[in-house]
Amino acid sequence: MSSIGFIGAGLMGTAMAERLRDCGHIIHICDIDPKREALGRSLGFKVHPSPASLAADCAVILVVVLNASQVREVLYAASSGSLLAAIGPDHRVIFCSTVSPQEASFACQCIVEKNALALDAPTSGGPARAALGQISMMIAGPQTTQALLAGVLAQLSSKLFAISERYGDGARAKLVNNLLAAINLVGGAEALALGEQLGLDPQSLLALINESSGASWMLGHRMPRALGMESGITAQTHVLTKDVKLANLMAQEQGLSLPMGEVAAKQMQASCDHGWRDADDSSVFHWYRKLFQKEN
């Protein structure tokens, strides 16, 4: 039985922590939200006041925060007891946040400079699959580090993809994936909203599409919630909005434009701006409903 730490106990962090707890590990967490800390305590996790405190008890640490600014806060924030102030050669840090390739590489290099080990390993699949160990993980970093962490990674993920040994390639692969996820989500919402405007029953239309050439994982997974067939939040709208914008920026840095990515980002942002920022990202369907009603 080993102690494993999670910095960031949001929807994904908590689900991943539950998975490793169920695999027999002692789980430690650190989060800036008292509600997430309280939930962690109720799940049997040990709660720490700072990344440094957590690092004192855990050799393996997963960072599962929202964005690059939060990653840097974890690394450097002296007021909260920074991670970099506490780690050394015995530590192994796995970065699971979806950030730009540059930020992913920077974070990993900061850890390596402390003579610790690091992996760039963003995830995909959502909290429900994370709790079952069925997410996918896109892993970049030295093969020796990947091998040392293979046991924990296999418990977290039934779909491990070793991208390369170059830090940042995990982030690159994740952003390419999420670019397509956003395009599929926005396209699916647009199609169902159009069908509804044409007098078709959207639930019946969804069932038809899911068995036809227009099917996609995002359509089948998200639209049942948009149509009230399922409840709950698996991913907030602002999260995928951030990711598709990062994908567009990544392309721009290569001198490329992404017409469909730009449309997806525009519609996701509109959904955020019209009240669905913190709602499930399937709410982009409701934005299309509102948009079409205005146009009529």
CATH number at residue 260: 1.10.1040.10
* Structure confidence at residue 233 (pLDDT): 83
Q: Where residue 126 sits, what CATH number does that domain have?
A: 3.40.50.720
What would the pLDDT profile of 108-139 be if each residue is shown by its tens digit?
Answer: 999 999 999 999 999 999 999 999 999 999 99
Residues 8 and 155 in one domain: yes
- Please name the helix (run of DSSP H) or strand (run of DSSP E) that holds residue 127, with its range, or none: helix 127-131
Structural domain boundaries enclosing 67: 3-167
What would the pLDDT profile of 193-220 be if each residue is shown by its tens digit?
Answer: 999 999 999 999 999 999 999 999 999 9
What would the pLDDT profile of 279-289 be if each residue is shown by its tens digit?
Answer: 999 999 999 99
Residues 134 and 201 in one domain: no
What would the pLDDT profile of 251-270 be if each residue is shown by its tens digit?
Answer: 999 999 999 999 999 999 99
* Residue 16 in tokens: 């991943």
* Structure confidence at residue 294 (pLDDT): 78
Residues 114 and 193 in one domain: no
Q: Among residues 83, 67, 85, which one has the least CA distance to residue 75?
A: 83
Residues 274 and 178 in one domain: yes
**β-strands 135-140, 123-124: how paired?**
antiparallel
* Structure confidence at residue 79 (pLDDT): 64
Domain boundary among 149, 167, 185: 167
* Structure confidence at residue 230 (pLDDT): 86
Number of domains in the chain: 2
Residues 136 and 203 in one domain: no
Q: Which amino acid is at 196?
A: E
For the entire predicted model, the pTM comes to 0.94
Domain boundary among 121, 150, 167: 167
pLDDT > 70 fraction of the chain, expressed in percent and rounded:
98
The answer to whether residues 4 and 20 touch, using CB atoms and an 8 Å cutoff, is yes
Phi, psi of 104 (to 5 degrees): -65, -45
The answer to whether residues 45 and 30 touch, using CB atoms and an 8 Å cutoff, is no
* Structure confidence at residue 295 (pLDDT): 75
Residues 27 and 153 in one domain: yes
Residues 158 and 179 in one domain: no
Residues 114 and 32 in one domain: yes
Domain boundary among 167, 185, 210: 167
Rounded to whole angstroms, the Cα distance separating 217 from 233 reads: 17
Residues 57 and 26 in one domain: yes
Residues 16 and 146 in one domain: yes
Handedness of CA 270, 212, 128, 173 (dihedral sign): negative
What would the pLDDT profile of 78-114 be if each residue is shown by its tens digit?
Answer: 666 999 999 999 999 999 999 999 999 999 999 999 9
pLDDT tier at 46, thresholds 50, 70, 90: very high
Residues 159 and 199 in one domain: no
Beta bridge partners of 12: none
Residues 7 and 154 in one domain: yes
What would the pLDDT profile of 219-263 be if each residue is shown by its tens digit?
Answer: 999 999 999 988 888 889 999 999 999 999 999 999 999 999 999
* Structure confidence at residue 232 (pLDDT): 82
How many Cβ atoms from other residues are within 10 Å of residue 88's Cβ?
Answer: 10
Rounded to an integer, the average pLDDT of 58-78 is: 94
